[in-house]
Structure 1
Amino acid sequence: MAGKALRDDELQELVSANDAGGRNPAGAVGLFVAAVALSWSIFQVLLASPVAPWVLPGDLINNSRQIHLAYAVFLAAMVYPLWRGAPRDRVPLYDWALGLAGAFLALYGYFFYDKIVGNGGLADDADALAALAGLTLLFIAAYRTLGPVMVILALVFLFYVFFGSSDVVPDQIRWAGASLRKAMSHMWITSEGVFGIALGVSTKFVFLFVLFGALLDKAGAGNYFIKMAFGALGHLKGGPAKAAVVGSAATGLISGSSIANVVTTGTFTIPLMKRVGFSAEKAGSVEVASSVNGQIMPPVMGAAAFLMVEYVGISYFEVITHAFLPAVISYIALVYIVHLEAVKQRMPTIGDKVVSTWRTIMGMVLFFAGFAILCYATQYPVRWITAAVPEGAGWLLAVLVGVVYVALVWLAAQTDDLHPDDPEAEIVELPDLGEIYKTGLYYLLPIVVLVYFLMIERKSPGLSAFWATFLLFFILVTQKPLKALFRGDGELLGRAREGVIDLIAGMIDGARNMIGIGLATATAGIIVGTVSLTGIGQVMADFVEFLSGGNLILMLILVAVLSLILGMGLPTTANYIVVSSLMVAVVVELGAQSGLIVPLIAVHLFVFYFGIMADVTPPVGLASFAAAAVSGGDAIKTGFTAFFYSLRTVVLPFVFIFNTDLLLIDVTWWQGIIVFAVSTVGILVFTAATMNWFVTRNRIWETVALLLIAFTLFRPGFWLDRIEPPFQQRPAEEVFAIAEAAPAGAELRVGLEGVTLDGSEVSSNFLLPLGEAGGSGFDRLSRSAGLDLVERDGEVIVDLLAFGGVAEQMGVDFDWVVTGIEVEADRLPKELFFLPALLLLGLIAYLQQGRARREGEPVPA
């Protein structure tokens, strides 16, 4: 049943209630809450700054996670009503009590640090009761901000900690159980549970990026991105939908929330999509699919990128590199989906602008390529200046950035400021790119600074976001008075005051946007703590193995479904923590048993992709409900249509599990270009097959052939494996010689079998790093993989394991026997199979063009 489209104020309330809290108390209380939020932003900025050790006491820095959570719990009580009918214009006394008590208990480890250290980190009875009360108040705060799903999931895991030894629990998942003191020590006192890695990442990195997005939006960048996308694409068939896709990709830079993304761009694009012929459900679905895609788009990825750095153990640069290509080709495919929908339904265009599709595509390619080249080329003048003036380079570079900024603001001042358009206006005018691009070029400066520090200088995400945010402080305060100066308005003081107000409002908004994320990471820490305390990850692996019967493809499908179910109703950050904690080990262990050994980042991205699909899929698809509120369409139908549009996002994880070239792993730069080109063609062919339209409507055999072509382009090695085996088997005693001869950075595929401490028999393959070249094979394995192998009684066995080493983390145990070594076989290049696939594609295109001309069907242009 179709719903009623909400008004603008109702939509803003929807976003506020989900992302920033729906309560705005008036008077002194409102000022106090705003001051607390502002102080949180100031603390986090100082914490990330290079001067933190000099301006913040050491105990505040060391206990920053506790302070971070205390702010989140207190502000949740202030701005999120406890239930639907609770007051929204004032803070009830019970919320004051809950907020203050929650903040105090979050800071318990800070206040009683000496006592806890004196007890060796173990909780006494008083600590255990305080921890239990703290968890209770955390659950209440999480319920306010995240809804019941996250709380119920955490409670289930917590009950398993206490009652996992009960006879009611099936034997397959039963464990010894834990006492109250042991459980509370683990969950609240140590850094294994609530105050673990996830909350640490939220404290160190995520806050700065959320603040950066809030400030960029407050400066006006969100409206600028949408206008630019609409001006570039609005004249095409299905132009508003294409603008929604590109605008959502850009908005993804400043929003870590798919719901906020839907409403921000959707209030403008969805009504326009409906005007050119999209149904309410399809219009909402396009917005949902593009907004959820923003969660897989670097550099933020809904904050999951920073968590992957900690969980996978690779640099942020590597995470972004691996995640980039699937996200980009997924967006390209979504634009193509929209194009095919517009062609099939013969939708009209908006305005009288006539520009060819290819010219538009080339223009966008050149823009993004130019931006990438600009970010990359920035390093050369920076190096010259640093070499010429080593002592004052920082100040000189700051002055140069300021000069560029002032010049761009002068350019922006030559035209009027941009204002949001009314999509319901009788006549919709397309923005003139030749004019409007000038109004916001200076918004790109902080993004260039962010990308430069992240990707070129390889600084930490926190420090990179700090410098980009610091530049935004300057922009917000100065952009309005500078424009007034250049325009001769004479209102410099008033404009400067407005700039300061915008800065303060942006910092308050950033803090309010962080409340839910901070609580999500803290609550998800209970699930992570349960996994580390009870070993339930092994239980999940056994469960999936039992259901799949050991079949590799079925196992991956089950993991995908379980990840989707576990992600329902959770924000992106908590979603990733939950699915990675429970599902990654399943894929690694069962995949290795089936001979599938893939880099850990590929497995993390696999479960992450399916976790975020929960935002799309009914019955809990939050983004789909938000889109239906904008479009007035049916929420369930919108969700299913959006899932259909997101099929390319569903397929990609299966592709990069079997073909890690898509993640740009171990490929040269020229191979990367080929992979990008072939993958783009592959995803477009897959889209044409699933949309049942290529040049014209597909026949059944053409759809099957297109799917076969897409499969071949994505995984040419499958066909080569049928002809020549990918690996040669070598005997175990050659392990040292093979390891010694391997090049730097190589990995060794080793078969191992043995018995674990709990009596389970294991026979699996492991991918062991060899690190730098040089030294004996024994030394390289010991140094990089953390295990010593020795020959004994005709067998090669594991003699020693380095504590915390790679091999131990993979689950390798003492006295396991090496069963064999696999080395890559010398065989034909797999790319040879691209040729017949592309020839078949050309044949289908030729046949469909002839049929389209004969039948008068609309042809994609």
Structure 2
Amino acid sequence: MSALEKKDLNEIERDAQKLLEEKDADMRIRNYNGFFSIGVTILLIGWTIFQLYFNTLGMMDAITLRAYHAMFLMLFTFLLYPGYSTEKRKRKFIPIQDGLLIFLTVLVFGYLVLNYQRVAMSGGFLNQTDLIIAGLGIILVLEAGRRTSQNLAILAVIFLLFNWFGKFVPGSLGHSGFTLKRVLSHMFWGSQGIFGVGIGVSATYIFIFVIFGSFLKYSGFSQFINDIALTLVGRSPGGPAKVAVLASALLGMINGSAIANVATTGTITIPLMKRTGYKAEFAAAVEAVASTGGQFAPPIMGAVGFVMAEFLGINYTQVMIAAFLPAFLYYLGIIVSVHLEAKKLGLKGLSKENIPNALEVIKERGHLIIPLVVLIGMMMLGYTPLFSAVAAIFSTLISSWFRKETRMDLKTIMMATAEGARGAIGVGVSCVLIGLIIGTVSLTSLGLNFGYVVLEVVGEGQLFLGGFMVMIMSIILGMGVPGVAAYVIVAAVAVPVLINVGATPMAAHMFCLIYACLSNITPPVAMSSYVAAGIAKSDQTKTSLTAIKLGITGFILPFFFLNNPLLLIGSVEDISLLLTIRTLLTASIGVICLAAGTEGMLIKECSNITRILLIIVGLFAIDPKLQTDILGIIVLIIITIIQMRSKEHALTI
């Protein structure tokens, strides 16, 4: 790489960092100097050790672990996240007001740990002090949410107010109202509010897998993935775009943050795509849509799959298998789209000298794949995801020592640990805020009442109409919210609705998950698209619309598996191997046709009528029914023959 290219890349990385700080609160953190900097790092490492120990070998009841986790989350939020955007990021000391908030945090959550057993044994009887502590706890949570996830904090406030003002809402969604004491008791001292499923997920799966992702990053795994992707598809037409798809998919499923993934891999892939000949909007859209899909791509699914397994009460392996086909088809659609766009523009792949040697890449960094093998292998053998993830973290450290170039020394280990813990704060606070939302849903029966309203509007058995309403709701509730948090919110409200109109539990959960994740590329709050557009210097709206076109499979496929769970391989019992293979092949053909129709390119550029026919063929082939598969394939053969003959005729002329 020349000095000029390095300078340009550094400028792009700085711009990406600035964009990420504007769009993602996780990056708007304070940096302390001197003693305080060392102190914060030690605290973050101590928190990590605490979480790893009590998620594996240590013994602690669920509420106590969640209370300590919440205390650490609030403490680090007030320590690291500024209270207002104009505050200077470089500091020597903690601001006085934040020092007071930290003191209140330790007081409130420490009081909960010491008194929870007393309250539980008394049947939930609360004295005046208990109620004051509960009120302070909720205020602290909302303030922490304002600093880390403002959109979600506003949503939590709206839901919280519904506990009192819902009595003024007419119809089935309204309720008779609740007293302040009842709300405080339910939200803070109960097991379905702040200390419910949201923080339970954060204290276990999310924290552990964020640490795992950080260790993979510092071991050099990210560079290994980029190099492998280059060796596989770098020289094919539109190679850089395909590299972006593969690398972003693999890294996105580990870190679970589409925005952060765009800002890291996008600084390399987007300029490379632009230099190859792709338009800025297209290059940005490819990175945004590829990073977004990682959140529902197995085997890790950004830790969401483990949460889904808990909700469904099944083994994670079943969730992983069920997610395989939707994720595969989603990324197949993107790969085909970028390939056809490259053919349409007459683009070539990268030159041979810019492609790393595959054998050298494997020799130098192939050992870095060991942690993923350990993780998946241990889960397949029946170990819990948490135990497997902790083992994978230690295997990352050990495998990095196999070669000098990747060896993680003590300083690197400390940096990986501290960065991972910092990365868990924002999404962790989001999960605490979710407690206020889910607590309101359970206390007011909002979810159940909403289901009744949907049934009244769409009628019983109207699966597609009900699914359409849930799709809109899932996208809205998921806007600007981390993937795991978005799924938990949507699952609490929308999954019962889908089940009531006839969907299977697995299909309902996967439906809500995919649309909650796709809110990252759906206007008006398409966070991933906007960050990618900033890196590419492209129009935000055009980038988002291009991303929707590239990810069209993700928007269409859930409606098919909602009605026919065959597309969720492994979720249907007694399915034959032959039927599974046919479903996979015909659905793949359908996705290719969809991509060809939206891109306007198959063997050659297509007329408008051919594009429409290809889209129809795609829908027919995705549907697992044999009749639609046969009809779709027949039409595709006819279109292909016509295009081949017309192309040959054009060449002879």
Q: Distance in 1 between matches of 2:511 and 2:11?
A: 35
Contact 1:193 1:526 in 2 (8 A): yes
Q: Distance in 2 between matches of 1:6 and 1:538?
A: 51
| 1:205 partnered with 2:205 | yes
Q: Distance in 2 between matches of 1:81 and 1:856?
A: 65
2:152 aligned to 150, 153, 159, which one? Answer: 150
Q: Which residue of 1 aligns with 2:404?
A: 483
Q: Distance in 1 between matches of 2:329 and 2:229?
A: 18
Residues 560 and 238 (structure 1 numbering): CA distance in 2 closer, same or farther, change over 3 Å?
same
Task: Give the count of matched residue pairs.
Answer: 636
User: Map of 1:660-739 to 2, 5 A cutoff?
Assistant: 660-664=565-569, 665-666=571-572, 667-717=575-625
Q: Which residue of 2 aligns with 1:75?
A: 76
Q: Which residue of 2 aligns with 1:845?
A: 640
1:127 aligned to 108, 130, 145, which one? Answer: 130
Tell me by how many angstroms 1:315 deviates.
1.7
Q: Which residue of 1 aligns with 2:506?
A: 601
Aligned AA (2:164): F
Q: Which residue of 2 aligns with 1:789?
A: none
Q: Which runs of 5+ in 2 are unaligned?
A: 1-8
| 1:312 partnered with 2:344 | no
Q: Which residue of 2 aligns with 1:99?
A: 102
Q: Distance in 1 between matches of 2:133 and 2:595?
A: 55
Aligned AA (2:176): A
Tell which structure's C-alpha radius of gyration is larger.
1
Residues 232 and 199 (structure 1 numbering): CA distance in 2 closer, same or farther, change over 3 Å?
same
Tell me by how many angstroms 1:437 deviates.
2.3
Q: Distance in 2 between matches of 1:209 and 1:836?
A: 45
Tell me by how many angstroms 1:546 deviates.
5.1
Aligned AA (2:371): P
Aligned AA (1:46): Y
| 1:530 partnered with 2:440 | yes
| 1:436 partnered with 2:436 | no
Aligned AA (1:180): L
Residues 98 and 855 (structure 1 numbering): CA distance in 2 closer, same or farther, change over 3 Å?
farther
Q: Distance in 2 between matches of 1:449 and 1:837?
A: 42
Aligned AA (1:627): A
Tell me by how many angstroms 1:672 deviates.
2.5
1:741-790 C-alpha deviation (Å, 9 max, x unpaired): xxxxxxxxxxxxxxxxxxxxxxxxxxxxxxxxxxxxxxxxxxxxxxxxxx
Q: Distance in 1 between matches of 2:421 and 2:323?
A: 28
Q: Distance in 2 between matches of 1:312 and 1:158?
A: 27
1:490-544 C-alpha deviation (Å, 9 max, x unpaired): xxxxx98x61111111111110010012111111111111111111113322443
1:613-667 C-alpha deviation (Å, 9 max, x unpaired): 2111222111112101211112222112111211111001011111211101222
Aligned AA (2:38): L
| 1:30 partnered with 2:30 | no
Q: Distance in 1 between matches of 2:11 and 2:109?
A: 38
Q: Which residue of 2 aligns with 1:473?
A: 397
Contact 1:5 1:631 in 2 (8 A): no
Q: Which residue of 1 aligns with 2:6?
A: none
Aligned AA (1:434): L
Q: Distance in 2 between matches of 1:15 and 1:225?
A: 23
Contact 1:625 1:635 in 2 (8 A): yes
Q: Which residue of 2 aligns with 1:276?
A: 276
Aligned AA (1:126): T
1:45 aligned to 40, 52, 57, which one? Answer: 52
Aligned AA (1:83): Y
Residues 648 and 5 (structure 1 numbering): CA distance in 2 closer, same or farther, change over 3 Å?
farther
Aligned AA (2:430): A
Tell me by how many angstroms 1:256 deviates.
1.2
Q: Which residue of 1 aligns with 2:5?
A: none
1:562-613 C-alpha deviation (Å, 9 max, x unpaired): 2111111111121111111111112222x1xxxxx33201111111211112
Q: Distance in 2 between matches of 1:245 and 1:12?
A: 21
Tell me by how many angstroms 1:5 deviates.
11
Aligned AA (1:569): G
Q: Which residue of 1 aligns with 2:264?
A: 264
Q: Distance in 2 between matches of 1:715 and 1:517?
A: 36
Q: Distance in 2 between matches of 1:109 and 1:121?
A: 13
Residues 52 and 545 (structure 1 numbering): CA distance in 2 closer, same or farther, change over 3 Å?
same
Contact 2:329 2:553 in 1 (8 A): no
Tell me by how many angstroms 1:308 deviates.
0.9
Which has the larger displacement, 560-569 or 431-440?
431-440
Contact 1:24 1:88 in 2 (8 A): yes
Tell me by how many angstroms 1:832 deviates.
5.4
Tell me by how many angstroms 1:271 deviates.
0.5
User: Map of 1:127-276 to 2, 5 A cutoff?
Assistant: 127-146=130-149, 148-166=150-168, 169-276=169-276
Q: Which residue of 1 aligns with 2:16?
A: 11
Tell me by how many angstroms 1:554 deviates.
2.8
Which of structures 1 and 2 has the larger relative contact order (alpha carbons within 8 angstroms, sep 6+)? 2
Aligned AA (1:582): V
Residues 679 and 88 (structure 1 numbering): CA distance in 2 closer, same or farther, change over 3 Å?
same
Tell me by how many angstroms 1:849 deviates.
1.2
Q: Distance in 2 between matches of 1:47 and 1:26?
A: 31
Aligned AA (1:663): L
Q: Distance in 1 between matches of 2:27 and 2:200?
A: 21
Provide the secondary structure at the position in 2 that maps to 1:164: helix
Q: Which residue of 1 aligns with 2:346?
A: 346
1:95-123 C-alpha deviation (Å, 9 max, x unpaired): 22223322432343212134313432343
Tell me by how many angstroms 1:20 deviates.
5.0
Contact 2:309 2:319 in 1 (8 A): yes
Q: Distance in 2 between matches of 1:716 and 1:709?
A: 13
Residues 6 and 602 (structure 1 numbering): CA distance in 2 closer, same or farther, change over 3 Å?
farther
Aligned AA (2:64): N
Tell me by how many angstroms 1:440 deviates.
1.0
User: Map of 1:553-702 to 2, 5 A cutoff?
Assistant: 553-589=464-500, 591=501, 597-664=502-569, 665-666=571-572, 667-702=575-610
Return the structure number with greater strand share: 1
TM-score w.r.t. length of structure 2: 0.93
Contact 1:446 1:472 in 2 (8 A): yes
Contact 2:587 2:624 in 1 (8 A): no
1:795-853 C-alpha deviation (Å, 9 max, x unpaired): xxxxxxxxxxxxxxxxxxxxxxxxxxxxxxxxxxxx35533432321121111111223
Aligned AA (2:389): A
| 1:834 partnered with 2:629 | yes
Contact 1:122 1:189 in 2 (8 A): no
Aligned AA (2:393): T
Residues 20 and 458 (structure 1 numbering): CA distance in 2 closer, same or farther, change over 3 Å?
farther
**Identical positions, percent:** 31
Contact 1:44 1:203 in 2 (8 A): yes
1:453 aligned to 378, 386, 394, which one? Answer: 378
Q: Which residue of 2 aligns with 1:85?
A: 86
Q: Which residue of 1 aligns with 2:324?
A: 324
Q: Distance in 1 between matches of 2:370 and 2:633?
A: 41
Residues 584 and 253 (structure 1 numbering): CA distance in 2 closer, same or farther, change over 3 Å?
closer
Tell me by how many angstroms 1:242 deviates.
0.5
Aligned AA (2:58): A
Tell me by how many angstroms 1:700 deviates.
3.8
Q: Which residue of 1 aligns with 2:115?
A: 112
Provide the secondary structure at the position in 1 that maps to 2:31: coil
Q: Distance in 2 between matches of 1:676 and 1:122?
A: 57
Q: Distance in 1 between matches of 2:487 and 2:253?
A: 19
Q: Which residue of 2 aligns with 1:508?
A: 418
User: Map of 1:712-791 to 2, 5 A cutoff?
Assistant: 712-717=620-625
